[in-house]
A = this chain, B = another copy of it.
Amino acid sequence: MALTQQRRADGSLRHLLTLEGLTRDEIESLLERAQHHVRRLGEPAPHSSALAGVTVANMFTEPSTRTRVSFELAAKRLGADVVNLEVQLSSRVKGESMLDTVFTLEALHVDVFVLRDAEQGVPAMVASHVAPHVSVLSAGEAHVSHPTQGLLDALTVLQHKKRCDGLAIAIVGDIRHSRVARSAACHALRTLGTTDIRIVAPEALMPDPAEFEGCARSTSIETGIEGADVVMMLRIQKERFANTTIPAGDDYFREFGLTAARLAKARPDAIVMHPQPMNRGVEIDGAVADGPRSVIRQQVTNGVAVRMAALEILAAPLAARKAR
């Protein structure tokens, strides 16, 4: 989807399908608004009525309870009406009937579609067909995009490092299949000024050479994270181990797992991130995941805040409409 397709004629954001093409100002403004919704663990969750009268449909076609709950709570805490649906949207499965489902929901006055689908292109396809007042927010699209994850990663980095430029950030694991790596590395962090981004993976999990432009590549975790301010670990799907040259299970951990010993190669104040769910003992040692340099749970809290901010920004014209 071309960049301009995410915007309204006045340049404001209508859909959020990818972070590609967002300006630094736009990303910073999203993060600033998100920061207003961040609460410490134990404090009351943020609540407002900013989306009162707006209807949000969570359409998750992949099983992802935690991300669904994150979006569901974000919408509910803004006062929206929320419905959850498990619908198979993939165009190869259902053809035009997929769009008929979307049009039906639109006719039921669904204003915002939160879409998660394993097939590339589905969110853009939906966005290109819905009525002008309707917004689409991607909750994860195949291996290509996961914009709110990229934003929450950037917010987490900023909370700890106060800036993104001048940092060394290493992303470790299954880069090739990771929408998280694409959204965070290529779009959010890059746009916010990070130049030293390293992607670290076994050869078979490296992306095509044309992708991740400007990122240093390393097939050794020790080399890759050396001196890093931020170590972002990725989940490795166990399916990857079959029929490949990728070392499986314990072997993967031995070669690419983040241990305390390896983390010592990074800067002493480096933070450790993971988008979850984690395979403890495969890509990350449990002690590191729970250790003092882990900010993994904070990423989750930032996730709701970022999703609230994204919903508010996309649905701003709807909220204004209601107030009339």
Contacts and interface: CB of A to CB of B under 8 A. Distances in A.
Nearest to A319: B44
A104 B44 contact: no
Interface of A: 39, 41-45, 47, 53, 55, 57, 65-66, 69-70, 72-73, 76-77, 81, 83, 85-87, 95-97, 100-101, 103-109, 111, 131-133, 276-280, 286, 297-298, 300-301, 303-304, 318, 321-322
Given A73-B55, A81-B73, A96-B286, A297 B107 contact: yes
Nearest to A96: B280
Given A41-B131, A100-B280, 9 more contacts: A41-B107, A41-B109, A45-B53, A66-B104, A69-B108, A73-B81, A73-B108, A104-B276, A107-B298
A150 B323 CA distance: 34
Query: Which 3 A/B pairs are nearest by Cβ-Cβ distance?
Result: A107-B300, A45-B109, A42-B133
Interface centre among A44, A53, A70, A278 (most CB of B within 10 A): A44
Nearest to A323: B44
Contacts of A104: 66, 276, 297, 300
Contact of A321 (B44, B109, B278, B280): B44
Contacts of A47: 53
A301 B107 contact: yes
A140 to B, nearest CB: 16
Interface centre among A108, A132, A321 (most CB of B within 10 A): A108
A65 B81 contact: no
Contacts of A57: 69
A120 B70 CA distance: 29
Nearest to A39: B109
A263 to B, nearest CB: 19
A277 B45 contact: no
Nearest to A133: B42
6 contacts: A44-B321, A55-B73, A95-B280, A100-B276, A107-B297, A107-B298
A22 to B, nearest CB: 25
Contacts of A101: 65-66, 277
Nearest to A42: B133
